[in-house]
């Protein structure tokens, strides 16, 4: 069993929020039970319509998205998706989003006593103006929203950080001090693609969040830096496409990892990773605990 800030997972591999919906689509092609946990698409207090226009664009070794956190709202999640997920006996981590401190706190409150395993506070979505990244790029605002949610919940509270900051360590420390039980890093990096035929930005939202292998070295670097400074566990995410990639994240200091846009190309990746890790550990005659943070100890 792996313990991420009080959340017990049977393996360290999870879906990344926004890349696995609420599990129902992937359940058609794989056993959801093979995941350590499912991290669901961000949920807000009210339904959000998301952004207009083009929402996705392929980029070198990755993609941009500007979905804008389209989601059906917490009530719909609780009545339509959570009962189904609870039946699957899989740990559910609910990614929550809001436009204000109150909205985050209210969504967190609604998830008390619902059987979910943990909350992942998304203060880092680059595609919504209010909320999302506004909280993720100011340590004072991040502290405020995490403190407010902390008061409403005794569930394990993970906070997903934005890489779009000057000093990731400063953000991580602020969030830890506010009561986070774990940190998820990193969310996407803000980027832009221009359509040279029209001479305009391609995405309806103009900018989008970059994900995929292109951002992996940045994620590894940030985890490495943050892991030296915080006591809470880190969930690594950003460009993982294979066990080798995941091992880098563990060695940088992540205790568990999430897989996101790689699933769009390799939908069964998450069902293979736990077995591949076991084989690797057996072959190397070691255990996951010995690998976590290895690169820091070796340097």
Active site residue 125: yes
Write down the catalytic residue from 74, 125, 128, 157: 125
- Angle, CA 229 vertex, CA 236 and CA 158 arms, to 5°: 45
- Interface residue with another protein among 49, 140, 154, 299 (CB under 8 A) is 49
Nearer of residues 21 and 179 to another protein, judged by Cβ = 21
CA atoms within 13 A of residue 6's CA, in its CB half-sphere: 16
- Among the listed ranges 110-118, 126-134, 139-147, 261-269, the one in contact with another protein (CB under 8 A) is 261-269
DSSP 198-259: TTEESSTTS-EEEESGGGHHHHHHHHHHHHTT-SS-EEEESS--SHHHHHHHHHHT-SEEEE
User: 192 in helix, strand or coil?
Assistant: coil
199: contact with another protein by CB under 8 A: no
**Alpha-carbon span 236 to 244, nearest angstrom:** 14
What is the nearest approach in angstroms of another protein to the Cβ of residue 21? Answer: 4
42: contact with another protein by CB under 8 A: no
84: contact with another protein by CB under 8 A: no
- Among the listed ranges 62-70, 136-144, 180-188, 282-290, the one in contact with another protein (CB under 8 A) is 62-70
73: contact with another protein by CB under 8 A: no
Q: Which residue has the tokens 């389209």?
A: 70
* Contacting residues toward another protein, per CB under 8 A: 18-21, 25-26, 28-29, 41, 49-50, 52, 54-63, 65, 67, 70, 212-213, 241, 261-265, 267-268
């Amino acid at each position: 069993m792996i313990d991420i800030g009080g959340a017990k997972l049977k393996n360290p591999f999870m879906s990344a929020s926004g890349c696995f919906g609420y599990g129902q689509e992937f359940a058609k092609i794989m056993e959801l039970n093979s995941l350590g946990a499912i991290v669901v698409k961000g949920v807000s207090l009210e339904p959000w319509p998301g952004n207009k226009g083009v929402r996705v664009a392929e980029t070198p070794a990755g993609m941009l998205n500007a979905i804008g956190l389209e989601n059906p709202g917490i009530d719909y999640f609780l009545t339509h998706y959570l009962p189904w997920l609870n039946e699957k006996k899989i740990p559910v981590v609910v990614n929550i989003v809001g436009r204000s401190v109150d909205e985050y706190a209210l969504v967190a409150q609604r998830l008390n006593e619902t059987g979910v395993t943990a909350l992942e506070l998304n203060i880092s979505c680059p595609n919504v103006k209010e909320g999302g990244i506004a909280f993720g790029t100011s340590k004072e605002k991040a502290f405020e929203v995490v403190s407010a949610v902390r008061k409403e919940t005794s569930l394990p509270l993970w906070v997903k950080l934005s890489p779009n900051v000057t000093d990731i360590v400063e953000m991580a420390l602020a969030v830890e001090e506010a009561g986070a039980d774990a940190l998820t890093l990193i969310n996407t990096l803000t980027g832009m693609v221009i359509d040279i035929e029209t001479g305009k930005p391609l995405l309806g939202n103009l900018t989008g969040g970059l994900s995929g292998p292109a951002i992996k070295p940045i994620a590894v670097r940030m985890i490495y830096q943050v892991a030296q400074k915080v006591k809470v566990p880190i969930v690594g995410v950003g460009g993982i496409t294979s066990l080798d990639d995941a091992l880098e994240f563990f060695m940088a200091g992540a205790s568990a990892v999430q897989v996101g846009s790689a699933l769009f190309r390799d939908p069964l990746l998450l069902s293979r990773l736990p077995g591949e890790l076991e084989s690797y550990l057996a072959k190397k005659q070691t255990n996951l605990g010995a690998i976590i943070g290895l690169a820091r100890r070796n340097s």
